[in-house]
Amino acid sequence: MTNESPPRAWVDVSLEAIAHNLDVARQALPDTDLMPVIKAGAYGHGLEPVARRLDADGIAFFGVANAGEARRLSRAGVRTKPFILGPTFPEEREEIVLNNWCATISTLEEAEHFNRLAALYDKTFLVHMAVDTGMGREGFLPAQLGDVAEHLRAMSHVRVDGVMSHFPSADEDVPYTQNEIALFTDCVQLLQRRFRLRYRHIAASAGELGYEVPIANLARPGLLLYGVAPVASIYDGLLKPTLRLSSRVSLVRELPAGHGVAYGRTYITTQPTRVATIGIGYADGWPRAVSGKGARVYINGHYCPMLGRVTMDQIMADVSHVPFVSPGDEVELIGPHIPITEVAAKADTIVWTIFTGLGPRLPRVYSS
């Protein structure tokens, strides 16, 4: 039965571009292992398709947010080990130990729990110690490390295989970040006297592009894989955009001068205006915050200003200057003519929230 309505709005994803950007990340750090970060559904691109495309591409781990995402990877037959970036909940840990997923610890309680579970199943469970060098989100404090290390060494079934931290200000504060690298280096050296640390990592995309961390041997690029460099770098020009967001015109109407458009009537036509109604709204992830901020869409070769506020399922644009527009015509919202960085700037937010805000209602269409 083929009674499906044509999509009102959708996302085209280029898996090839993501794989290419991973190669760029590799060029930027040739002697470092990589953990592609594919949490939050690979930043809106789709967890399983992205993982399958990058799987076995000579990478150490896939960075995921939680046990649920790790489970989805194993169900999809992905071979690369998931690395759960955030803290784990007690009820998730048995599954984590049984599957040998990699987890971080920030407290001795977590370590003891993993140790008990691993003993129960007669396994050695590998963990990475998180160290809080400034982010304030997880990890042991540097001053605790000496004591904590002694306790961890006494645990029979947990082995510290790595140490990680995370920069809070790599894209904003260079001197702070440089001090933080020195602190992280001290922490790693202290721990290296007690453990054989196979992995040492602190950098996400901005850290990878902007700094050298000689003690690290693993990096965790996220945004970079999706074609955006969070700091200016020589690799900018090499990155390829990974997605397009499109919709379709649903109506074209002539409004007289003095007519309001959308909620709150924040836009009033100043002259007779041809207005296209377009099938996408904030429920799809087109940010309501771009309302009245000069956002534009691209229709049949022309930029068209968006008019008034974004509504839940629809937006309006001025198409008076476009010679031919009719219902069904494609509309580019993010793509070759409208970079995602422009949309984030108009919404006064960061690119990460635009990627991860692309909603489940948008079908993802893949090209390899």
Ligand X SMILES: *Cc1c(COP(=O)(O)O)cnc(C)c1O
Does 45 engage in binding with ligand X (CB under 6 A)? no
Asked if residue 57 lies in contact with residue 22, where contact means CB atoms within 8 angstroms, the answer is yes
Closest approach of ligand X to the CB of residue 219, in Å: 9
Asked if residue 251 lies in contact with residue 327, where contact means CB atoms within 8 angstroms, the answer is yes
> What's the CA gap between 109 and 32, in Å, rounded?
31
Nearer to ligand X, 135 or 252 (CB): 135
> What's the CA gap between 109 and 263, in Å, rounded?
52
Closest approach of ligand X to the CB of residue 307, in Å: 33
Beta strand 302-307 with 296-299 is: antiparallel
> What's the CA gap between 232 and 254, in Å, rounded?
44
**Segment near ligand X (CB under 6 A), from 181-189, 200-208, 301-309, 328-336?**
200-208
**Segment near ligand X (CB under 6 A), from 188-196, 217-225, 253-261, 283-291?**
217-225
Asked if residue 90 lies in contact with residue 97, where contact means CB atoms within 8 angstroms, the answer is no
Nearer to ligand X, 197 or 224 (CB): 224
> What's the CA gap between 158 and 111, in Å, rounded?
7
Does 103 engage in binding with ligand X (CB under 6 A)? no
Does 220 engage in binding with ligand X (CB under 6 A)? yes
Does 205 engage in binding with ligand X (CB under 6 A)? yes
One of 85, 97, 105, 338 touching ligand X (CB under 6 A): 85
Closest approach of ligand X to the CB of residue 135, in Å: 8
Does 223 engage in binding with ligand X (CB under 6 A)? yes
> What's the CA gap between 65 and 201, in Å, rounded?
17
- Binding positions for ligand X, 55-74, rule CB under 6 A: 63
Residues 158-177 as x/- pattern, contact with ligand X by CB under 6 A: --------x-----------
Closest approach of ligand X to the CB of residue 235, in Å: 13
Token pair, residue 278, equals 């377009």
What size, in residues, is the chain?
A: 368
Does 333 engage in binding with ligand X (CB under 6 A)? no
Does 200 engage in binding with ligand X (CB under 6 A)? no
Nearer to ligand X, 171 or 332 (CB): 171
- Nearest residue to ligand X by CB is 222
- Binding positions for ligand X, 229-258, rule CB under 6 A: 230
Q: What is the CA radius of gyration of the chain?
A: 24
Beta strand 102-105 with 125-130 is: parallel
Does 37 engage in binding with ligand X (CB under 6 A)? yes
Closest approach of ligand X to the CB of residue 230, in Å: 6
Token pair, residue 100, equals 């040998």
**Segment near ligand X (CB under 6 A), from 18-26, 216-224, 265-273, 301-309?**
216-224
Asked if residue 133 lies in contact with residue 140, where contact means CB atoms within 8 angstroms, the answer is no
Asked if residue 111 lies in contact with residue 154, where contact means CB atoms within 8 angstroms, the answer is no
Closest approach of ligand X to the CB of residue 224, in Å: 6
Asked if residue 35 lies in contact with residue 59, where contact means CB atoms within 8 angstroms, the answer is yes
Count Cβ atoms below 10 Å from residue 80 Cβ, excluding itself: 19
Cross-strand bridge partners of residue 275? 253, 318
**Segment near ligand X (CB under 6 A), from 204-212, 249-257, 304-312, 360-368?**
204-212
Task: Give the residue numbers marked as catalytic.
Answer: 39, 263
Binding site for ligand X (CB under 6 A): 37, 39, 63, 85, 166, 204-206, 220-224, 230
